Amino acid sequence: MNKRLAGKVALVTGASKGIGAAIALRLADEGALVAVNYSSSKEGADYVVSEIITRGGRAVAVHGNLSEPEEIKSVIDATKKAFGAIDILVNNAGVYEFSPLDSITPEHFHKQFNLNVLGLLLTTQEAVRAFSDKGGSVVNISSGVSTITPPNSAVYTATKGAVDAITMVLSKELAAKKIRVNSVNPGMIATEGVVAAGFHEGDMRTWIESVTPMGRIGTVEEIASVVAFLASEDAAYVTGETLHVTGGLR
């Protein structure tokens, strides 16, 4: 594989499983030194790190719950300590819960906004301070829900609409620092979380596939390859974009 990211330092949040793990593996395959952030699954993060090392790359697992502001700085510090200045931040950590309007509670709201929006903002704030003067790339993992707007997802969809807006704002704000900011908005992807929620089979998947022009759900690798492109110099003039990787569903 062409090592487009040779020598670059990447922090991938929420990278112990699913899309985050696939992104960490792909960036490492492209030559990046990868900090694999996890909140609860040390075992998962250690497995991702061992896979990267087996494939000839370099990686470390970095613990931190990014919904807790006081833990964010330690994640950035551990990344810098391991590899030096950061070049690439992938804001993948996130949670989702679906609820009809009648069942929405402050807890349901804050659980998702504290990580998906506030956590993303504060992590980006701290990471940007650790970028070198050469700049770099921030890739936010948003969601196709920000345009698909499925029922019973008011709070989750609101968090991802916020991520899309933040992406566009920060692309303008950080351009002078040579930092590009883009968003990848996946459709339904076959991940452990989707399986755990029961969405990988039954009515939800059937509906998604029936309205998706390509007629299927996506894979984690199909998201990771787009992130690798946006993180690389192949996307040197791309910033402020929300790239929907949804099989054509909007």
Separation CA 126–CA 140 (nearest Å): 15
- The verdict on residue 206 lying in a domain is no
| Residue range of the domain that includes 54 | 9-189+220-244
Strands across the sheet containing 242-245: 58-63, 33-38, 9-12, 88-91, 136-141, 179-186, 242-245
Please name which of 241, 220, 235, 180 lies closest in space to residue 4, comparing C-alpha atoms: 235
For residue 129, CA distances in Å to 15, 132, 162, 165 come to 21, 8, 22, 21
- The verdict on residue 207 lying in a domain is no
Q: How confident is the model at residue 200 (pLDDT cuts 50, 70, 90)?
A: low
Phi-psi region of 157 (alpha: psi -120 to 50; beta: other; left: phi over 0): alpha
- The verdict on residue 231 lying in a domain is yes
Task: State mean pLDDT over 26-50.
Answer: 98
| Residue 129, both tokens | 């301070």
Q: pLDDT for 109-160, tens place per residue?
A: 999 999 999 999 999 999 999 999 999 999 999 999 999 999 999 999 999 9
96 catalytic, yes or no? Answer: no
Query: Does residue 88 carry a pLDDT above 90?
Result: yes
Name the active-site residue from 38, 47, 96, 156: 156
CATH code for position 105: 3.40.50.720
- The verdict on residue 169 lying in a domain is yes
SS3 236: coil
The total number of residues shown for the chain amounts to: 250
Average pLDDT of the residues of the chain: 96
Counted domains in the chain: 1
Reported pTM: 0.97
- The verdict on residue 198 lying in a domain is no
Q: How confident is the model at residue 201 (pLDDT cuts 50, 70, 90)?
A: confident
